[in-house]
Amino acid sequence: MSLDARLDEIEAQWQEIQAQLERPQVASDPESLKRLGREMARIEPVVTVYGELRAVRHELAGAREMRDDHAAEAEMREMARDEVERLEAAEAELVDRIRLLLLPRDPNDERDVIIEIRAGTGGEEAALFAAELYRMYVRYAERHRWSVEALSVSETGIGGMREAIFEIEGHGAYSRLKFEGGVHRVQRVPETESGGRIHTSTATVAVLAEADEVEVHIDEKDLRVDVYRATGPGGQSVNTTDSAVRITHLPTGLVVAIQDEKSQIKNKAKALSVLRARLLEMEQRRAHEAEAAERRSMVGSGERSEKIRTYNFPQDRVTDHRIGMDLHNLPGVLDGDLDRLIDALITTDQAQRLSVFAEVG
């Protein structure tokens, strides 16, 4: 199907939605209104830009007619040639915008996210790096006025983190953070290293789209719930009741343990939230197995074994290996100034999908 034919089809869908919204039975049905409203919001940008494109093409046809009219004065034909160049550039820009709008949307893009950070190789230095990554994402969320809630944090005695699981709530959070999953590597001289040697340590990041109870139903009979007394760094007790909760999902073997809250009920609710997100990710990965080649694109698949970024302290350099991008602003990046990196990743992903779109179209 040609691009214009596809746009005509979308415009017809738009007109049909408008007609349905005018029907009394639809106006009195909240579910239908909600469904049609979502569909309208999805295609309205395409219809709007298509309208602009048709207006430009109408002007372009007139300018070309004037340019090719040998009976017209030379000065008028010259003005028409300039107008044709301007309108052809505008047409190309509008077509590019439409192609971007027509790209299949990631259904998770508008969701909140659950991020899991775990110290990798490097001992205590890896735990310190994991804590820095946690602070980096918290600062990034603050810059975007998103809210952050820690679900589970396992700290070491000197400020490091063995593991941090936290939720970020905000419009488009997943769409901005979904490419952060993978292995993050740090190269620097640890404060505890007297010889001044550069060490390499790692931490893994997983970015999960938050799922609600309707999307991912968990049967209680599929769960083993263990409660125990929460402990802090070094094993010291931080609670006098069995408030910590460990949930095992028997069909998959997934285990989630939460102990941050003093309330067993709150810890269980948080654990179930993390479990739903992991189950949703597993289901989506299975659904996308047929698209394995696409998932191995330049921006990466988000696999936890994939090295995606290096933070080099001696050279004040952050390198994203998927797109070959270097930034010499390491303190700023660790303070949450991630938008240049994230924008480049999103642009690369869009360009790759546009090339596929062009081949198919």
Q: Check whether residue 207 and residue 316 sit in a common domain.
A: yes
Q: Check whether residue 273 and residue 326 sit in a common domain.
A: yes
Domain boundary among 40, 69, 102: 102
Query: How far apart, in whole angstroms, are the C-alpha atoms of residue 277 and residue 141?
Result: 19
Residue 195 confidence (pLDDT) above 70: no
Q: Each residue of 244-283: pLDDT tens digit?
A: 899 999 999 999 998 877 788 888 888 988 998 988 888 8
In a domain, 355, yes or no: no
Do residues 80 and 67 lie in contact, with contact meaning Cβ atoms separated by under 8 Å? Answer: yes
- Parent domain of 210: 113-350
Q: Check whether residue 23 and residue 119 sit in a common domain.
A: no
Residue 118 confidence (pLDDT) above 70: yes
In this structure, what is the dihedral angle of CA atoms 345, 350, 353, 358, given to the nearest 10 degrees? -140
Q: Each residue of 313-338: pLDDT tens digit?
A: 999 999 999 999 999 999 999 999 99
Q: Check whether residue 93 and residue 217 sit in a common domain.
A: no
List CB contacts of 110: < 8 A, sequence separation 6 or more.
171, 172, 174, 175
Q: Check whether residue 128 and residue 79 sit in a common domain.
A: no
Residue 187 burial (C-beta neighbours within 10 Å; 0-12, 13-18, 19+): middle
Q: What is the mean pLDDT of residues 57-84?
A: 92
In a domain, 361, yes or no: no
The pLDDT of residue 293 is 47
The pLDDT of residue 101 is 84
In a domain, 88, yes or no: yes
Q: What is the mean pLDDT of residues 75-82?
A: 93
Q: pLDDT grade, residue 294 (50/70/90)?
A: very low
Q: Check whether residue 82 and residue 140 sit in a common domain.
A: no
The pLDDT of residue 355 is 73
Q: Each residue of 16-66: pLDDT tens digit?
A: 999 998 888 888 888 888 788 878 878 888 999 999 999 999 999 999 999
Two structure tokens written together for 138: 């918290």
Residue 302 confidence (pLDDT) above 70: no
pTM for this one?
A: 0.69
The pLDDT of residue 174 is 93
Q: Check whether residue 49 and residue 132 sit in a common domain.
A: no
Radius of gyration of the chain (CA): 26
In a domain, 313, yes or no: yes
The pLDDT of residue 71 is 85
Q: pLDDT grade, residue 205 (50/70/90)?
A: very high
Query: How far apart, in whole angstroms, are the C-alpha atoms of residue 287 and residue 277?
Result: 15
The pLDDT of residue 289 is 63
In the block, tokens 């640890």 appear at 190
Q: Each residue of 129-179: pLDDT tens digit?
A: 999 999 999 999 999 999 999 988 999 878 899 999 999 999 889 999 999
In a domain, 208, yes or no: yes
Picking from 118, 132, 125, the residue whose alpha carbon sits closest to that of residue 188 is 125
Domain boundary among 70, 102, 134: 102
Q: Check whether residue 83 and residue 144 sit in a common domain.
A: no
Q: Check whether residue 161 and residue 85 sit in a common domain.
A: no
CATH number at residue 323: 3.30.70.1660
In a domain, 108, yes or no: no
Q: pLDDT grade, residue 287 (50/70/90)?
A: low
Q: Check whether residue 79 and residue 162 sit in a common domain.
A: no
Q: Check whether residue 18 and residue 126 sit in a common domain.
A: no
Q: Check whether residue 120 and residue 44 sit in a common domain.
A: no
In this structure, what is the dihedral angle of CA atoms 326, 332, 338, 340, given to the nearest 10 degrees? -50
Q: What is the mean pLDDT of residues 57-85?
A: 92
- Report the share of the chain in percent with pLDDT over 90: 50
Domain boundary among 102, 131, 165: 102
How many structural domains does the chain have? 2
